[in-house]
Amino acid sequence: TSRAISAQIIRHRSFCFQEFSQRYAPSDAAEPVELRTQDRSNRQGSGDAYSQDWAYDIVARSVDMAFKTYRTLLQEGVSRETARMVLPLCTQTTLYMTGNIRSWIHYLEQRLEEQSATRGEK
């Protein structure tokens, strides 16, 4: 999953989480970015898919530049711990979560509702 989605998942406090540190893993993969319109009635929600190609081009260039910057910093001797600060939220990560059956049922009830805004919140 991406760092952005893992931040949403970690909000569920009844679980224990272990996220693999980007200090120890190569960070050169990103999740595809899905742009959506802003929901008109819910400021925390999103609407339909945003279909303007120019916006996707800007996002792709920005993500590419962030990864190039990260690799350059590492090549120049900057520590992984500090160089990773330039990585975008769409950077892939590995997240493990454990919880009891009651926590899992509650989590699934919340995240499978039709009002979940993005694929990561489902």
Collapsing DSSP to helix, strand or coil, 22 comes out as coil
Nearest to 45 by CA among 122, 118, 120, 112: 118
Query: Is residue 23 among the annotated active site residues?
Result: no
Nearest to 98 by CA among 21, 22, 18, 5: 18
**Among 23, 61, 102, 111, the one annotated catalytic:** 111
Token couple for 55:
């916006």
Q: Token pair 């339909």 is at which residue?
A: 48
Token couple for 89:
């939220």
Cβ–Cβ < 8 Å for 4, 120? yes
Strand partners, 36: 49
Q: Would you name the residues annotated as active-site residues?
A: 111
